[in-house]
Amino acid sequence: MTDRQTRIAVVTGAGSGIGRAVAVELLRGGWSVALAGRRVEALSETAALVPGGTALARRADVSRPDEVTALFGAVHDRFGRLDLLFNNAGTFGPGGVPVEELSYDAWRHVVDTNLNGAFLCAQAAYRQMKDQYPQGGRIINNGSVSAHAPRPHSVAYTATKHALTGLTKSLSLDGRPYRIAVGQIDIGNAATEMTARMSEGVLQANGEVAAEPVMDVADVARTVRHMAELPLEANVQFATVLATTMPYVGRG
């Protein structure tokens, strides 16, 4: 068992981008963090960014139920409890593909990763948080501003992010009796490998291609940490963090 003063987190997709930034922020804040992802080398690189931090790097494909079970079993064996799941792993899928040309395999891959993976991890976390003592914990799902307004040619990604909002609401309701708080952060244009193309120009709703502003991913990480460190009696149900002048409110 871990010292109760040490908080325990699982961060999926922790090998790069937003997941890496959040994991680093939590480690610097004294959390013990299980880093989950498909590339162990990248997870080890994340852990090395905070010398002296307590990190467990664990390979896991969140779309595979057996690997999710193994991940949370390893967390339980190592730390004895779970205080936070940051449900972050996701994929945009093939970019720029019109809906009529999107293959079923491509659709299924996005759904399996973004939605089914989020459900499997939330379910595993929920079970552990319900059964542990003291009971409870927090789940934060990484949504997207696409949970509100789509980009052109993003049907699979947008559909899963809308579904993730429903998952968040349902988990939040069902978690009430067990002190499980569930919220969602919707992020727009954080500077990561995935958004590098923003500065080169991306397709807009009016058919034009235009560069878009981005924000420091560290600002996202600090927001997640704020949500994570609230007492369980308080919850940020939904938060939207985005580059101030990105085309979102006026998108379309």
Q: What is the per-residue pLDDT across 123-159, written as a single tens digit (0 to 9) for each?
A: 999 999 999 999 999 999 999 998 898 888 899 999 9
Which residues are CB-neighbours of 109 under 8 A, at least 6 positions away? 91, 93
For 22, the 3-state DSSP assignment is: helix
Active-site amino acid positions: 157
Strands 238-242 and 209-210, by their bridges, are unpaired
Kindly state whether residue 200 falls inside one of the protein's structural domains.
yes
Report whether pLDDT(121) > 80.
yes
Kindly state whether residue 70 falls inside one of the protein's structural domains.
yes
Residue 49 CA to its chain's centroid (Å) = 19
For residue range 172-229, list pLDDT tens digits in order.
999 999 999 999 999 988 888 777 788 788 888 888 888 888 999 999 999 999 999 9
Kindly state whether residue 73 falls inside one of the protein's structural domains.
yes
Kindly state whether residue 157 falls inside one of the protein's structural domains.
yes
The CATH number of the domain holding residue 32 is 3.40.50.720
Which residues are CB-neighbours of 187 under 8 A, at least 6 positions away? 18, 142, 143, 144, 145, 220, 240, 241, 242
Prediction pTM value: 0.93
Kindly state whether residue 121 falls inside one of the protein's structural domains.
yes
As for how many domains the chain has, the answer is 1
Domain that holds residue 54: 8-242
Kindly state whether residue 248 falls inside one of the protein's structural domains.
no
146: which DSSP letter?
Answer: G
Kindly state whether residue 247 falls inside one of the protein's structural domains.
no
Kindly state whether residue 149 falls inside one of the protein's structural domains.
yes
For residue range 227-245, list pLDDT tens digits in order.
999 999 999 999 999 999 8
